[in-house]
Structure 1
Amino acid sequence: MQNNKKVIVGISGGVDSSVCALMLKSAGFDVQGVFMKNWTNSAPNIECTTEKDFADAEAVCDQIGIPLHQANFSGDYWDRVFKKFLSDHNEGLTPNPDILCNKEIKFRAFLDYCLEIGADYIATGHYVRVDNSGSSARLLRGIDPTKDQSYFLHQVTGKDLAKSLFPLGELTKEQVRQIAKDNKLITAGKKDSVGICFIGKNKYNDFIANFLGKDPGAILDEEGNELGVHDGLMYFTLGQRQGIGLGGIKGKEQDSWYVAHKDTQSKALTVVQGRDHPLLFSDGCYVEDVQWVNENNQEELNCEVQIRYQSQPVKAQLKKLTNGYKIIFASPQLAVTPGQSAVIYQGDDCLGGSVIKDRISSDFYSWADNRGYNYQVYG
């Protein structure tokens, strides 16, 4: 029994955090719940589920028999996550704020808060595993490949992982649902939240339009012919198909249009037809300095790299440069997107990752040279 160890669980009002708390209570830990308020609903026309989620959190903690407290991190979230989210969009990037939220809020502000009030560990409902058998805690993929969330936690350090518990990492989603049903938890049938946490049920572009407004430019085909006008590069991401606003165009094939390039200087959005178009693929990418889970001084590394959540990892070689790293893929990858994260694995072991600065693509370089677009090659 672990009843001398105090664990504070981040309770969201969903089934995962509910089962996480139940499992730890059943294992004999002294469990308390904390509902984190990370977002202040200050923008118009935004639907927020915080009140409903807190009511569910209260009800499920009452069922389990643990106290629930509230902690407000909305100021930290705004300053350390959301401001960068907006800044990245304005620079033409496609950010992933959930990764930064885990690093700066859940496993920094929340962890510090819990340790200050006497917790031995924190716990969350993430589908990951931690191996504490060596000198440093290692981050491993959850056993359910459809729910593994190590991609989102790759910037959490081994030191902080050693203070964190993830009981769902050894379970599938179906098993978690069944545990909730068997124990008649009120969250057993609650739908999973999807997408970025603060956007909730709102449409992505409608949400960010409240903060970014419009910055229109031309929509061009690969030859530079104007096809239409867009409201701002911040509303598009590389490889995007839906929402471009182009229907049938005279003299063009009927294949779908995809975003191939965002030129921040001219504000031009270049689109191409067909998902297999060469301009959509990259041979590798440049990334910023890698955030390692544990210290790693290797200048070259054979690994697998995942360039977006739930994408298939690809074999790759990582090489340190003067400023950041270069990653070369074993096979070309679709829609390598600046602002997203390239996360580094060896098997189930998540070693760390970094934000993508730019793609490496000979096809793109040739096209950009012909069109007069600038790009950067790092050495």
Structure 2
Amino acid sequence: MRVLAAMSGGVDSAVAAARLVEAGHDVTGVHLALSSNPQSFRSGARGCCTIEDSRDARRAADVLGIPFYVWDLAERFRADVVDDFVAEYAAGRTPNPCLRCNEKIKFAAVLDRALALGFDAVGTGHYARVVDTPSGRELHRAVDPEKDQSYVLGVLTGEQLAHAMFPLGDTVKTDIRAEAERRDLAVARKPDSHDICFISDGDTAGFLRDQLGEAPGEVVDTDGQVVGEHDGTYGFTIGQRRGLRIGTPAADGRPRYVLDISPVDRRVTVGPREELAVGELTGVSPRWCGAAPASSMRCSAQFRAHGTPVDASVAVSADGSEVVVQFDEPQEGVAPGQAVVLYQDSRVIGSATIDTTRAAAPVPS
């Protein structure tokens, strides 16, 4: 097969490309230039898309003896990922830019271009597995639960999965670094990137403040009493406990958490932990990793990249535009804008963007 290997300049994508070559595929490496003004150097283990990253990717391709190109997708990345991220926070939601990047960039813009150029598939260093079955191709969790990235791939459609390859899904991370050493890949000891790739210093609130400007407002309790002030609602997310800048302690002395974010009146509402409990959510714009499921099903639901899946019942609307997820047990920290990814055992069924949540019924005293 002719395979386009996405090479970020990190150890995972380099080993993934090496495995594709070793498997006998006709491999071409490509580095995605996603920043219009890349940094000269990485900041510790944060960020990516630096000049050094592109050079590391090129060196790895040279070791593997494969053609290598750099594709400039900075404008598309800015529009589909960065601008979307800023707009979501401005609206009081909590987005996941990694899902958006996989949906809009790696498995849309890149895959579309690859197929147009005659490639059969795109291979990446994601930790996930693609399993071929008599009924079609399925997306599954990786063998290494600590590195599993199936959550951020839950936006892929069946057609995209048909042209996706994840060579690392059956391996643990420590083995990948050892393999990179054996293959003489210079990135073997390179630190992993963390957090949000386009916020290299990890200061999300500072990045959003630069983009949106200061928009000061009040922090209030559930009775509407002002207990603090803030510089912008975009600095908060549902379930947040630290950095609330509360000047008045709770009467009972217990910690308070962000319960609601209202950008329109610039208010952040805080309250006790038990008021975070959510029993149901509505997700919009569902995407299925294969055929759409029946109108209802039992499954597990995950709403954070490294969160614990929880048992739930799911109902799909008649027109397929919404899903309603009811948790068997109340969950905390479920925020609009996040993705809910649905699983059956290790298989990814699909995902949706959380639109609204409903509080869990109070526990009888």
Deviates more, 1:104-113 or 1:289-298: 289-298
2:186 counterpart SS class: coil
Q: 1:27 to 1:222 in 2, by over 3 A?
A: same
Q: 1:63 & 1:258 partners in 2: Cα distance?
A: 51
Residue 7 of structure 1 contacts residue 32 of structure 1 at CA under 8 Å; is this kept in 2? yes
Listed as ranges, the matches of 1:183-222 within 5 Å are 183-222=183-222
State the match for 2:117 in structure 1: 117
Q: 2:303 & 2:15 partners in 1: Cα distance?
A: 30
Give the letter aligned to residue 353 of structure 1: S
Listed as ranges, the matches of 1:153-192 within 5 Å are 153-192=153-192
Q: Which runs of 5+ in 2 are unaligned?
A: none
State the match for 2:324 in structure 1: 326
Residue 90 of structure 2 contacts residue 263 of structure 2 at CA under 8 Å; is this kept in 1? no
Q: 2:260 & 2:219 partners in 1: Cα distance?
A: 10
State the match for 2:20 in structure 1: 24
State the match for 1:354 in structure 2: 352
Task: Output the aligned Cα RMSD.
Answer: 2.1
Q: 1:325 & 1:193 partners in 2: Cα distance?
A: 33
**CA displacement at 1:54 relative to structure 2:** 0.9
State the match for 2:291 in structure 1: 295
Q: 2:180 & 2:283 partners in 1: Cα distance?
A: 41
Give the letter aligned to residue 83 of structure 1: D
**CA displacement at 1:250 relative to structure 2:** 5.5
Deviates more, 1:348-357 or 1:282-291: 282-291
Q: 1:34 to 1:251 in 2, by over 3 A?
A: closer
Could you tell me the percent identity over the aligned residues? 34
**CA displacement at 1:254 relative to structure 2:** 4.7
Q: 1:10 aligns with which of 6, 11, 15?
A: 6
Q: 2:282 & 2:168 partners in 1: Cα distance?
A: 34
Residue 16 of structure 2 contacts residue 125 of structure 2 at CA under 8 Å; is this kept in 1? yes
1:58-115 superposed Cα distances (whole Å, 9 cap, x missing partner) = 2222222222110011121222222222221111111112111101110011111222
Give the letter aligned to residue 138 of structure 1: E
The alignment covers a number of residue pairs equal to 354
Give the letter aligned to residue 281 of structure 2: C
Q: 2:192 & 2:163 partners in 1: Cα distance?
A: 26
**CA displacement at 1:363 relative to structure 2:** 6.0
1:178-232 superposed Cα distances (whole Å, 9 cap, x missing partner) = 1112223111111111112222334111112221112221011222221111111
State the match for 2:301 in structure 1: 305
Q: 1:363 & 1:263 partners in 2: Cα distance?
A: 23
Deviates more, 1:179-188 or 1:338-347: 179-188
Q: 2:75 & 2:81 partners in 1: Cα distance?
A: 10
**CA displacement at 1:252 relative to structure 2:** 4.1
1:121-144 superposed Cα distances (whole Å, 9 cap, x missing partner) = 210000011112334321111111
Q: 2:200 & 2:29 partners in 1: Cα distance?
A: 22
2:188 counterpart SS class: coil
**CA displacement at 1:116 relative to structure 2:** 2.2
Give the letter aligned to residue 163 of structure 1: H
Q: 1:72 to 1:42 in 2, by over 3 A?
A: closer
Residue 306 of structure 1 contacts residue 313 of structure 1 at CA under 8 Å; is this kept in 2? yes
State the match for 1:372 in structure 2: none
Give the letter aligned to residue 346 of structure 2: D
Q: 2:242 & 2:204 partners in 1: Cα distance?
A: 13
Listed as ranges, the matches of 1:243-322 within 5 Å are 243-246=243-246, 249=248, 252-273=251-272, 277-321=273-317
Residue 12 of structure 2 contacts residue 125 of structure 2 at CA under 8 Å; is this kept in 1? yes
2:169 counterpart SS class: helix
Q: 1:297 to 1:362 in 2, by over 3 A?
A: closer
1:19-55 superposed Cα distances (whole Å, 9 cap, x missing partner) = 1011111222222110001222399xx9775111112
Q: 1:111 & 1:360 partners in 2: Cα distance?
A: 37
Q: 1:302 to 1:231 in 2, by over 3 A?
A: same
Residue 250 of structure 2 contacts residue 256 of structure 2 at CA under 8 Å; is this kept in 1? no
1:266-294 superposed Cα distances (whole Å, 9 cap, x missing partner) = 32111225xxx211111121111421111
Give the letter aligned to residue 122 of structure 2: I
**CA displacement at 1:349 relative to structure 2:** 0.7
State the match for 1:375 in structure 2: none
Q: 1:339 & 1:251 partners in 2: Cα distance?
A: 29
State the match for 1:54 in structure 2: 54
Residue 136 of structure 1 contacts residue 159 of structure 1 at CA under 8 Å; is this kept in 2? no
Q: 1:130 & 1:42 partners in 2: Cα distance?
A: 33
The reply on whether 1:104 has 2:104 as its aligned counterpart is yes
Q: Which runs of 5+ in 1 are unaligned?
A: 365-379
Give the letter aligned to residue 344 of structure 1: L
Q: 2:119 & 2:232 partners in 1: Cα distance?
A: 46
1:271 counterpart SS class: strand
TM-score (norm: length of structure 1) = 0.88
Q: 1:250 to 1:292 in 2, by over 3 A?
A: closer
Deviates more, 1:255-264 or 1:68-77: 255-264
Q: 2:12 & 2:201 partners in 1: Cα distance?
A: 19
